[in-house]
Amino acid sequence: ENTSELRPTHPLALAPVVAPAASVDGFAKQFLQNLNFGQGVTLSASDVNDQYLALAYTVRDYLMARWLDDRATQKTQQAKTVCYLSAEYLLGRQLDNNLLAARLTDIATEALAQCGIDIDAVRAVEIEPGLGNGGLGRLAACFIDSLATMSVPTIGYGIRYEYGIFRQAFADGEQVEQPDAWLRMGSPWDFAHPEAAQTISFAGHTETYDDGGVERTRWVPEWNVLAVPYNMMVPGYHNGRVNTLRLWRAVATNAFDLHTFNSGDYVESVRAQTFAENISKVLYPEDSTPQGKELRLQQQYFFVAASIADFIDNVLPDDFDLDKLPERVIFQLNDTHPVIGVPELMRVLVDEKKLEWDAAWAITQKCFAYTCHTLLPEALEVWSVDLLGRLLPRHLEIIYRINDEFLLEVRERFGDDELLIRNMSIIGEHPYRSVRMAYLATVAGSKVNGVAELHSQLLRDNVLKDFATMWPDKFTNVTNGVTPRRFLRLANPELSALITEALGAGWTVDLERLRGLEALADDADFRERFAAVKASNKRRLGRVLEARGDAAPGDGHMLDVMIKRLHEYKRQTLKVLHIVSTYEGIVSGRLDVDDVQARTFLFGAKAAPGYGMAKRIIHLINAVGEVVSADPRVQGKLQVLYPANYNVTLAESIIPAADLSEQISLAGKEASGTGNMKLALNGALTIGTDDGANVEIRKLVGDDNFFLFGMSEPEVEALWAEGYRPADFYQRDERLRSAIDLIASGAFSAGDRTVFEPLVSNLLYEDRFMALADFSSYLDAQNRVDAAYADQDAWVRSAILNVARSGYFSSDRAMRDYLDRIWHATPVI
Ligand code: GPK
């Protein structure tokens, strides 16, 4: 924009921004320039990290021209922008994805080769930005990829954590957490725009004042920090579109006090800086359990306030008529973490822009929509009124007024039903007075969606029942999806090539085309090639694991994977009971070895550092793995692998190699799952409960190609109602008894019976997630798996059908559903 005042005369300055030439020569030139003038090294003196950074900057240079162009049109276009507000983006590595999107893979490979560099070695040094915990954060990353690919104007807003999800290591089988210093070696993919920083305020008090005869309220904050935006480019696949991921970093406003510093008090002089910068210091590693900590609320308000201000000040044209805001933006709330944005937008509209309350509320309600990602009651975020009022006094007032008006509406609608009023109030009273963020989001949002059909139904029937009665049309479902670019095209190049050979390349952006593979499931030649790809992917995984110092999956083994956060409701324990039972069965002679398929069980999971039971389960998995691996009686038959620090990068090696996908949560607990989709899409068969998106996967792939077990959600409810006694199940099933007894005996803890005692007694006397109730059914299903795997031809046929019928689970489809049902936005080509 400034150029209008610059009046340049040089022809280059008058020309549009152009990317380097899309040729090997053009790429090599830019690469060497970045290496020499950016990294400050000659090619011969450069190390692999220099080469990586120069390569990344080069790819960025290609994307930048498109990005600048898209930014210029964003101001003038009339289209609606999707502002995705998310505290987490679990992006994974960027290099390959961006090369692919920009059609630069071959050019870059050749250009580097001509510089004497093997691009694979360079690839390997990229540290993935782990700015998320698990499914919720990875979903956000898939969504922004799809939106860019579909040419939907989108800004992903979030936090640029200095430390992402911790690095996991094991010491004597127990998890230890190490800081994730992902920025240490440089961060080529993002670039700061300090001139666009926002000042974000906290604490203080509110006061009323006379504004020319109108009484208004203003917030007099006590302290503030700067929010500095860092942009990352989000390229669409082969469409030249580049959207923005804008992550905020906290910086002290009065960076440090030079006076104090000169007087010798160095510690005091940097105190303010440290305090401010703590806000974006580290990702909370909690998953499905909210952290009621003040710093967490600071983080939430920090990024949401900065994002809303940024959109209004910098993205919209100057003097934009805010009555029209809903035509130009939808703020999608990724779970409750950004819900403080609701009172923030009200504050901006009423206190700063001086709109009438009712007009502001009408706008706000149209500008937000809310996605819920859980059903666990303990995961529904609440903030104590005390804390929220101290940190954000004006926002608390606004929340109270929203609640007052909402409860009036409830009374009008349902009469003076005090119990109902108490149940629906945004303010809860027990065990302390608190703001229920999910309720605030539901009241404010134009739409509320769950993330799979069953989940959305349970939201309507249980968690948000009264709200669904009041506003049935507000509730909708959008089943999650995953990006086929990262999780099939990039992660599984051999299968991708096979599919492209069979169906053409269009499937990458139109995943339903995979249906074309159905016919090939009956083609023996195709089955053979498909099986060869799977075998090759297993070998590739083996090499990846060995390079990390881990063991490779056993030769000819079925690869049975359970990769997801460690959580009791996901029931890694049930998986362990299956392993222990099989091991015990072989060792005791109860099982005929020939009936047992050789299997490698592979786990990948991090536990929240404060989640004691989850950490004990990790310890148990490692302990069982150690004993099983060392026991000659099951050599070549059973193997347990638990590579540390499961992340997106490792997932990309595991998923293509998997035969069996473990999706074994207690019915009614897993909102959706997305790993289940990635694995099915890569030809793993699912063993799973009727939970989350498993229900939809099974419907699509067919019962013959899915191993269903366990109670249904209504059966779970019924068993709870009748009184669940896990010990009864222990008594009833001998296989279960032997497995639990073996753990309790100290067989996996060098004879020490105390180590896993808390785990065993939790299972026998509490078992909140009913692992024991589903055990028999699970074991029976595993026996069906063994039998099915013995017929390799039939298994491969099923695997192909899983791929062919998983097209629905593309995040492109999910984005279409959001656009149609919630955002009412359209692509801008
Ligand atoms: C749900 F509540 C939460 C949370 O805090 N973190 C998280 O990753 C997951 N989720 C669900 O557990 C999954 O079932 C779901 O597929 C995923 O969110 C994305 O919707």
In CATH, what number does 81-93+133-204+216-382+438-479+817-823 get?
3.40.50.2000
Given a cut of 80, whether residue 575 has pLDDT beyond it is: yes
Given a cut of 70, whether residue 2 has pLDDT beyond it is: no
Q: How far apart are CA 794 and CA 790, in angstroms?
A: 9
* 683 residue type, one letter: G
813 is a catalytic site residue: no
Query: What is the distance in A from the centroid of ligand 1 to the CA of 475?
Result: 18
Report which ligand 1 atom has the smallest distance to the Cα of 132: 8
Q: CB of 673 within 8 A of CB of 450?
A: no
Where helices occur in 105-165 by DSSP H, the ranges are: 105-114, 119-123, 135-149
| pLDDT of res. 275 | 86
Residues β-bridged to residue 174: 171
Q: How far apart are CA 688 and CA 697, in angstroms?
A: 10
Is 829 or 376 the better-scoring residue by pLDDT? 376
| pLDDT of res. 270 | 74
| pLDDT of res. 253 | 87
pLDDT in tens, 104-159: 999 999 999 999 999 999 999 999 999 999 999 999 999 999 999 999 999 999 99
Ligand 1: residue of 84, 333, 372, 374 to mutate (most ligand atoms within 8 A of CB) is 374
Question: SS3 sequence, 683-733?
Answer: CCEEEECCCCCHHHHHHHHCHHHEEECCCCHHHHHHHHHHCCCHHHHHHHC
Q: Which of 486, 564, 578, 797 is catalytic?
A: 564
| pLDDT of res. 563 | 99
Enumerate residues lining ligand 1, CB below 6 A: 133-136, 139, 287-288, 373-374, 379, 451, 480, 670-674, 692
**What integer best gives the mean pLDDT of the chain?**
96
Query: What is the distance in A from the centroid of ligand 1 to the CA of 425?
Result: 25
Our CA angle for 244, 505, 650, nearest 5°, is 60
**In terms of DSSP bridges, do strands 475-477 and 558-563 run parallel, antiparallel, or are they unpaired?**
unpaired
In CATH, what number does 484-809 get?
3.40.50.2000
| pLDDT of res. 4 | 64
Query: For 654-665, what is the mean pLDDT?
Result: 99
573 is a catalytic site residue: no
619 is a catalytic site residue: no
Tokens 């091991």 belong to which residue?
583
Phi, psi values for residue 488, rounded to 5°: -130, -60
Tokens of 106: 């071959």
Q: CB of 379 within 8 A of CB of 192?
A: no
Query: Which protein residue's CA is at the shortest distance from atom 1 of ligand 1?
Result: 373
Query: Which protein residue's CA is at the shortest distance from atom 5 of ligand 1?
Result: 288
Given a cut of 80, whether residue 56 has pLDDT beyond it is: yes
Given a cut of 70, whether residue 256 has pLDDT beyond it is: no
Q: Which of 296, 565, 599, 805 is catalytic?
A: 565
Alpha-carbon radius of gyration of the chain: 28
Q: CB of 368 within 8 A of CB of 335?
A: no
Tokens of 405: 């008006």
Confidence of residue 261 (pLDDT cuts 50, 70, 90): low
Query: What is the distance in A from the centroid of ligand 1 to the CA of 239?
Result: 30
Report which ligand 1 atom has the smallest distance to the Cα of 374: 2
User: CA 549: distance to chain centroid?
Assistant: 27
pLDDT in tens, 503-521: 999 999 999 999 999 999 9
pLDDT in tens, 304-360: 999 999 999 999 999 999 999 999 999 999 999 999 999 999 999 999 999 999 999
Q: CB of 97 within 8 A of CB of 485?
A: yes
Confidence of residue 636 (pLDDT cuts 50, 70, 90): very high
Query: For 789-796, what is the mean pLDDT?
Result: 98
Percent of the chain at pLDDT exceeding 70: 99
Query: What is the distance in A from the centroid of ligand 1 to the CA of 136?
Result: 5
Give the domain ranges of the chain. Answer: 1-76+101-127, 81-93+133-204+216-382+438-479+817-823, 484-809
Ligand 1: residue of 90, 133, 136, 664 to mutate (most ligand atoms within 8 A of CB) is 136
**In terms of DSSP bridges, do strands 368-371 and 638-641 run parallel, antiparallel, or are they unpaired?**
unpaired
Phi, psi values for residue 264, rounded to 5°: 105, -10
Ligand 1: residue of 138, 288, 661, 694 to mutate (most ligand atoms within 8 A of CB) is 288
Q: Which of 80, 678, 797, 813 is catalytic?
A: 678
- The DSSP symbol for 462 reads I
674 is a catalytic site residue: yes
Query: What is the distance in A from the centroid of ligand 1 to the CA of 126?
Result: 26
Tokens 């800086």 belong to which residue?
273
| pLDDT of res. 331 | 98
Q: CB of 823 within 8 A of CB of 445?
A: no
Phi, psi values for residue 50, rounded to 5°: -60, -45
Report which ligand 1 atom has the smallest distance to the Cα of 451: 20
Given a cut of 90, whether residue 235 has pLDDT beyond it is: yes
| pLDDT of res. 442 | 98
Report which ligand 1 atom has the smallest distance to the Cα of 376: 2
pLDDT in tens, 407-466: 999 999 999 999 999 999 999 999 999 999 999 999 999 999 999 999 999 999 999 999
- Is-same-fold flag (81-93+133-204+216-382+438-479+817-823; 484-809)? yes
Confidence of residue 264 (pLDDT cuts 50, 70, 90): confident
Query: What is the distance in A from the centroid of ligand 1 to the CA of 571?
Result: 15
Query: Which protein residue's CA is at the shortest distance from atom 13 of ligand 1?
Result: 673
pTM over the 0.95 mark: yes
Given a cut of 60, whether residue 566 has pLDDT beyond it is: yes
Where helices occur in 124-248 by DSSP H, the ranges are: 135-149
Q: CB of 88 within 8 A of CB of 132?
A: yes
Percent of the chain at pLDDT exceeding 90: 94
Question: SS3 sequence, 536-555?
Answer: HHHHHHHHHHHHCCCCCCCC
* 782 residue type, one letter: Q
Report the run of H or E that residue 487 belongs to, with start and end: none
